[in-house]
Amino acid sequence: MRIFVAGASGAIGRHLVPQLVAHGHEVVGTTRSASRTGAVRALGAEPAVVDALDPDSVADAVAKAAPEVVVHQLTALSGPPNFRRAKQMAAATNRLRTEGTDHLLAAARAVGVRTFVAQSNAMWMERAGARVADENGRIEPNPPADAAEAVAALRHLEDAVTGITWAEGIALRYGAFYGPGTGIETAPGSVMADLIRGRKFPVVGGGTGVWSLVHIADAASATVAAIEKGRRGVYHVADDEPEPIGVWLPELARALGAPPPRRLPAWLVRLVAGPGPVDMMTRAPGISSEKAKRELGWTLRYPSRRQGFAEGLG
């Protein structure tokens, strides 16, 4: 198939494009900067410089590519996380998940795309639901005020994509990425890894928030499976071991050769960073990916984070 990947130079795009090419697909990959077209071409894609927030730029690029499939992997989440500026850091990604999604959907419909796959995430599954949620679970309806815009943007993306009737609209709720290109890796200068080594990424409160993780290569292979076999709706994409942060973060620190993470009281982090980060670190549920494995035939290279931390961080 001819596939248009919006966000080809991002963390997952850098793994997704080569996998699509290896499956025999022809890929057009976008980047925001002309300076990165060479990197996109090196992945095996035809590069296109696109401003995802400009509807004419998006429409022109999609029309020129004439794809059968559009894949929306656009975010603006780069650089080290900063709890003090979490809302500001999320603002650009919120626009990509709302305006950017709408522009891509309009452009895709205009050229007769038959499958549209978009990146969502599992960090804001409903807090009052199951501790490990399947796709019947919903996004948190009452998030903390400082997270409300980000959660609304996720909801907009999922509703807009899965609500289309002219193509298969698929939203992928990914777990938290780790591995090459994600910042949680052994490469020098990896932002999250450096925070963990510097004991600047703490366990908050009791560390009771359940985060599902997924190696970036596994996230990419699930996306390929969704493109080739997926049907309208939501699929969860994560490994088989959702566990509380207080369990897996010390394991990750050991794998990175770092000292154990600090433990900070929730009231202190709430005072400094706001209620949203505390909620995410103490109340988030994990997800089950059984639907993706069953319906898409997806298999994980790293079904256990322990295997992934030992073999997949480099």
For residue 100, being part of any structural domain is answered with yes
Q: Residue 62: which CATH number?
A: 3.40.50.720
For residue 206, being part of any structural domain is answered with no
Q: Is residue 78 very low, low, confident or very high in pLDDT (cuts 50, 70, 90)?
A: low
Weakest mean pLDDT among 15-19, 107-111, 154-158, 188-192: 188-192
pLDDT digits (tens, 9 = 90+) for 113-130: 999 999 999 999 999 989
The partner residues of 2 in beta bridges, in order of sequence, read: 26
Encoded amino acid at 263, one letter: R
Counts for the chain of helices (H) and strands (E), in that order: 13, 15
- Residue 307 vs residue 81, higher pLDDT: 307
The DSSP letter of residue 262 is P
Residue 77 has pLDDT above 80, yes or no: no
Longest Cα–Cα distance in the chain = 53
**In contact, 297 and 229? CB cutoff 8 Å:** yes
For residue 83, being part of any structural domain is answered with yes
Total structural domains within the chain: 1
For residue 188, being part of any structural domain is answered with no
For residue 194, being part of any structural domain is answered with no
pLDDT for res 189: 83
Residue 118 domain boundaries: 2-181+213-238+288-301
Cα–Cα distance, 151 to 146 (Å, whole number): 10
For residue 227, being part of any structural domain is answered with yes
For residue 186, being part of any structural domain is answered with no
pLDDT for res 129: 87
For residue 294, being part of any structural domain is answered with yes
Cα–Cα distance, 277 to 144 (Å, whole number): 9
Mean pLDDT of 291-313: 97
pLDDT for res 76: 83
